[in-house]
Amino acid sequence: MQDILLKVRQELAENKGFGGIDKFFKQEIKKRGVKTAIVRKIAKNYFPKKCSKKEVFSLCENLLSSGYSEEATIAFQWVLRMKNQFSKDDFNIFEKWLKKYIDNWAKCDDFMTHAFSELLFQFPELINKVKKWINSKNRWQRRASAVVFIPLISKEKKYLKHVFEIALKLLKDKDDMVQKGYGWLLKEASRDFQKDVFQFVMGHKKEMPRTALRYAIEKMPVSLKRRAMS
């Protein structure tokens, strides 16, 4: 199995040199400087098809432990490819990775809106465990508690109640990354449930930080935006 990681890292080393992603981050990130399209192609080409789920997850943890953003991208792509073998017990593994390896918004959003969201879709009884992240001291866990629902709200209306519950609990969060996270969730919910989201915004706009408010109403008609911002 280690041969796969050696080949992956060799490919990344041979393609390094692109540093344009820095402008999207306020913090310094650990990167090799490889274009995302190339990273995803490497992930596809070297996916360990003959390995068991346990072996794939072990490889993914090795990639995550490096701290490099490109290796995290590959890890999350590989995890998602194992979705047909997901089980409820995988929550403990995924949550451990969230707490231990997620250190910027890109890793958080990639993991939450793909593999972790898929796990919740298959096992909705795990949702209450996710809601515990709302009270975490870790900004990425709090952001994750909102972002993980973005793919779900586009699938079924039953998730709308969770969207509003989470947004309400994160409403006064002082961290801009968390504000943008739940604001993004409300924005995505507004695509199919504009009236519900608008009512929520109007009911809480006096307490909602401007950053979250602007995100939430971004896809709404100009007339509704003016009412919300007034």
**Containing domain of residue 137, as a range?**
127-230
Residue 69 lies in a domain: no
Structural domains in the chain (count): 1
Q: Is residue 198 part of a domain?
A: yes
Residue 62 lies in a domain: no
Name the residue among 6, 147, 24, 145 with its Cα closest to residue 71. Answer: 6
This prediction has a pTM of: 0.93
User: Where does the chain have alpha helices with state H?
Assistant: 2-14, 36-45, 53-65, 69-80, 90-101, 105-111, 117-122, 127-131, 139-147, 150-153, 160-169, 176-190, 194-204, 210-216, 222-229
CATH code: domain of residue 217 = 1.25.10.90
Token output for 188: 């995505």
Which residue in this structure is represented by tokens 């100009």? 222
Question: Could you tell me if residue 64 is inside a domain?
Answer: no
Q: Are 162 and 155 in contact (CB under 8 A)?
A: no
In a domain, 188, yes or no: yes
Assigned domain for 71 exists:
no
Residue 86 lies in a domain: no
Q: What is the largest CA-CA distance in the chain?
A: 59
pLDDT tens, the chain, 230 aa long: 679 999 999 999 999 876 545 555 566 778 888 999 999 999 999 999 999 999 999 999 999 999 999 999 999 999 999 999 999 999 999 999 999 999 999 999 999 999 999 999 999 999 999 999 999 999 999 999 999 999 999 888 899 999 999 999 999 999 999 999 999 999 999 999 999 999 999 999 999 999 999 999 999 999 999 999 98
In a domain, 152, yes or no: yes
